[in-house]
Amino acid sequence: MLQVVKTTAELRELVRRVKKEGRTIGLVPTMGALHEGHASLIAAARAENDFVIVSDFVNPTQFGPTEDLDAYPRTFDADCRLAEAQGADVLFCPTPAEMYPSAEDTWVEVTGNITKVLCGRTRPIHFRGVATVVTKLFHLAQPDRAYFGQKDAQQVEVLRRMVKDLFFPLEIREMPIVREADGLAKSSRNVYLKPAERQAALVLSQSLFAAQRAFAAGERRTDVLVGQVRQQIEAEPMAEIDYVEAHALPELTAPHAVLDVPHLLAVAVRFGTTRLIDNVILDPRTR
């Protein structure tokens, strides 16, 4: 049975009991509006841990002042059903006041290139908000493993750095991107898309898959692959590009001219007022 927990005190008490019994904990941080992408993370957590905590919290500090905090979809009842169906033990859904109890803030900030490029450039306070709320969740839930999606690949690298630098005793597990049948990456924000925008948005996965095929066929010039994706997206009239870039993994350093180490090839593109992200990893060791 899924237990809905709203306060940090209640969560800490539950976690204390689970730990005392020597059981392992898997944590899946989400902002709710759960879909099959989230479901895959919860299923992985269920398979690998004794106790599964899903957090459902639209974190205000990772939204910029002009972003979609108020409009962000909230589907609490459906979230409970999905989390329960995937075998979660706890759905933790605190209020903002519960998660940010002080009038002033304490921040966790991962510095360097890793938070300045890609989404960090257009969303300057985003990763500080993410690192801070995930730190709070790690302290509250004390997971052995925490589950994140490659959909937000930069976020995963930022959190890996944070876990390493702050000595969090846990493992970050990165799960593949779950897509619609036609290739569009599942996202809570897809509901914002008008039908014509939804159709136009297919250019993201199509252009990234084309680059992936070219890479598999032996193309190793980074500028050629990035240029190919950019050109294909620019040909779609409804698409307004934020970025189309490749960066070397894991620190998202400047791309190599030749793809001799794993790179993240990532895009962020607006369709109307909706900003979508997608990516593929180009790894010369496996592809």
Residues between 41 and 80 that touch ligand AMP (CB under 6 A): 41
β strands within 6-131, DSSP E: 25-30, 51-56, 90-92
31 forms part of the interface with ligand AMP (CB under 6 A)? yes
| Gap between the Cα atoms of 287 and 273, Å rounded | 35
Q: Return the number of the residue (30 or 222) whose C-beta is nearest ligand AMP.
A: 30
| Gap between the Cα atoms of 180 and 176, Å rounded | 13
The yes-or-no answer on residue 38 being catalytic is: yes
Per CB under 6 A, the list member of 115, 142, 187, 274 interacting with ligand AMP is 187
Q: Return the number of the residue (37 or 255) whose C-beta is nearest ligand AMP.
A: 37
Q: Give the nearest distance from C-beta 69 to ligand AMP in angstroms.
A: 13
Any residues with CB less than 8 A from the CB of 165 and at least 6 apart, and which?
Answer: 110
| Gap between the Cα atoms of 246 and 281, Å rounded | 9
Q: Give the nearest distance from C-beta 151 to ligand AMP in angstroms.
A: 4
172 forms part of the interface with ligand AMP (CB under 6 A)? no
Per CB under 6 A, the list member of 5, 30, 138, 225 interacting with ligand AMP is 30
Per CB under 6 A, the list member of 19, 46, 74, 186 interacting with ligand AMP is 186
Q: Return the number of the residue (62 or 232) whose C-beta is nearest ligand AMP.
A: 62
| Gap between the Cα atoms of 59 and 123, Å rounded | 14
Q: Is 279 helix (H, G, I), strand (E, B) or coil?
A: strand
Neighbours of 48 (CB within 10 A): 15
Q: Return the number of the residue (188 or 212) whose C-beta is nearest ligand AMP.
A: 188
CB-CB contact of 85 with 146 (8 Å): no
Residues between 108 and 167 that touch ligand AMP (CB under 6 A): 148-149, 151-152
CB-CB contact of 175 with 149 (8 Å): yes
Options 113-121, 134-142, 185-193, 216-224: segment touching ligand AMP (CB under 6 A) = 185-193
Number of chain positions touching ligand AMP (CB under 6 A) = 17
